[in-house]
Chain A
Amino acid sequence: MKLIPIIFFACAGCSFAASAQKDFQKKYQSQLILAEPGAVIELPEGTFTLTNTLSLEGKKKITIRGKGMDKTILSFKGQTDGAEGIRISDGSDILLEGFTVQDAKGDAIKAMHVTGIRFHEVKAEWTGVPGPANGGYGLYPVQCQGVVIDKCSSIGASDAGIYVGQSQDIVVKHSTAFHNVAGIEIENSLRAEVFENEAYENAGGVLVFDLPDLVLKKGGQVKVHHNKIHDNNYVNFAPKGNIVASVPSGTGLLILASKEVEIYENDILNNQSVSTGIISYFTTGKTIKDQAYDPFPSAISIHDNRYERKPGLPVGGDPLGLMVGKKFGGNTPHILYDGIKNPSLLDASGNWIAGQCIAIVNNKNQSIVNLDAANNFKNMALVEEGFNCNK
């Protein structure tokens, strides 16, 4: 007889919890739908469970503000609907501040077609051991104009933690990324400045990529400086098929087919396979069908960085790492260049025309290997000359 009220209360508790969740979702989703310009959506302190994407659409001048990165936590662990935690589309002057998005089924926070999107003290996180079932991107502005990511954090993304794609005028600063496949990635984007961040214990620390078959094809004018990029030797747990799945574990910084990239005054430490790589799209082994795509890196300057690595073979077992390890043993050079140059940027004697060269100068512990990728890596060798832009 006494069991009956207990069961009753237990069930009442369950349904109350479920309906409280639904109410939270509806309450904040409604606020986001009805928000007028200038509105501040205040998220309370606590951990809240959501089952569907929270979306903001077609809005101007909206702030979504929690009580702090570790105080307001939106958990999507039981998410049943929607492909991202928070989705922001077609807006302007949007500020996200002071909260964490946890365990989204897809991307944590995606912003598309927003002019003026700021992330301030926002964390995207997948809890537990990082694995391929985690969502792809943590903070994910794409086709946005005017992006600021400041004092943010991303942990556990199965693609890139902080990922800016097909966007323009970007600042990523004072942020932290670890246990992602890629820590910070700037892809097919124009005018990005990435500084004073810490990217560590990812498979790859910082990536600057230009990929084919996209709407915004040509990125460039990217500066990466005063970052701490270290110990990016985490296993690459990306699902196959994605471009980051081919980033070797042990990569500090990788430039793929990008133009006008300046890398300076970074600490690039203990990234055991590729401290820094400069490669063309050909070296990925993927075919190119996009006629308008330029697969070559050019106008790259890498200077005044500090390189260190621990003695020992490259980590991970990536084919490139294995090959370099076989050639150089435990003393892998810091900077790997695939040697494939855009022929249209060379003069008659095979030198870079003005302004298009690849400069690698004045780095502490600088060592460069030309992979000779064009000849199936046959004449892979250390090189000292040819990276000072004919000076």
Chain B
Amino acid sequence: MQKVNGKSIFKGIAIGRILYYSKEQQQVKRLRVENTEAEVARYEAAREAAVKQLGELYDKALAEVGEMNAQVFEVHQMMLEDEDYNDSIYNIIRQQEVNAEYAVATTADNFSDMFANMDDEYFKARAIDIKDISERVVTILQGKSTGSDIGDEPVIIVAEDLAPSETVQMDKTKLLSFVTRLGSSNSHTAILARTMNIPALIGVEIDEAWDGKMAIVDGYTGTLYLEPDDELIEEMKKKLQEDIEKRELLQTLKGKENVTKSGRAIKLYANIGNVSDLASVLQNDASGIGLFRSEFLYLESKDYPTEDEQFLAYKQVAETLAGKKVIIRTLDIGADKQVDYFNMEHEDNPAMGYRAIRICLSQPEIFKTQLRAIFRASAYGNIAVMYPMIISVEEVKQIKQIVEEVKKELDDAGIKYGDVEQGIMIETPAAVMISDLLAEEVDFFSIGTNDLTQYTLAIDRQNAKLDTFYNSHHEAVLRMIKLVVDNAHVANIWAGICGELGADTSLTDTFLDMGVDELSVSPNMILPIRKVIREHE
């Protein structure tokens, strides 16, 4: 038995035979052709087929791994339609009177050499793209199948690295695990593994000789066991069985209500940070979105995102959730999240600095653009809005004034909007202490436990030296949550938790006893929390 370590991408167990996956070297012969125009037509048909395949891969990737990861296929389509690339192929076929395969392969070599010789790493890497698209066309010309065939038996795939087109094409039911030498935890392979819930290791010193050997991937420890002994196999089989049972149990919770045994219904929502997270919200059966972090619109942009850009993103989320609640948190930039074009000055203590609602109230034009986008999108679903980093009733009154102005502008322009609930994040000790007063002004509270804990304990979470002092279950924080919930209920509004503590299953019972009405957690924690809720008295 041999043990090899790597970096785990997804916690889980896989037991099976290794398939060492390497790209087949394409053999292309130079053949003379009589009818060059027929050969050109043959190439064009193959190119069309390749563009179509790439379109299908794009759709598949879009559904499985999101738009950012799917974009590569769109670029590949454009490369195949490039004028110079095509002219070169036509020229070779016509001038040299040769077959299309040879013309494509020669063109691929020339163009990829051009990129490989550039001095920038990014552009160098495009040589691989050219090879990839050209191999696709040649495969079609040769009448072969373009699927990444991994056989009929479920296998552990061991490879140097996997291209997006390879991973997306593999039959997901035959994939037990990925083990690669290259790749990062944010690579395509890694994201795919996480999306599909399969254990995967990267950074493993792989060996071609492993092909066909029995192996175990332990994603909990990041270990690959080669030719494991019977004892280990038995142990891992048990672990795997536990995993499967746990997952099946959770699957049986899908579609079930979030109701305690005594009949109290809890709002169980998902936290998301991008439109691309929507798939996992639906897969995990969330009843709504309790925290839609709007920062991605600002972080992914090179300038202030326009009202229309924001509107389209919010509208998409509202429409996808089809009437379920979507709570959008307004801009929470500053502190650890910086954006160039905001031109923010350096601060000695950014966590307590110019951030979130403080920016919005100082630069109301930025705030108004976002509010207009949110209110416009509210005509397409059930949208609520919440404001971060509140410390005073004054701030809330100012916000409401701005909201009234926005509504009036929309009315004047004849633009429709829905009934938008307005709430605030409770994440400062100040907001906790005056939560009775704040409750009079808003429709709901959402407790942001990460910042609240940091401010209450005066512990910077980025500072590793303080780990021994940090207690995420500190009584002070728990008492604050209780106080906030009580004050909310006195004013007849609801209170929820959207910070990390909300997803801590060891605290779910405590929160339910306190009377917490809503828990908003990362999508993969929805079903585990639902289980605890349904078992609660």
Q: Say whether A associates with B.
A: no
Q: Which B residues contact A (CB, under 8 angstroms)?
A: none
Q: Which A residues contact B (CB, under 8 angstroms)?
A: none
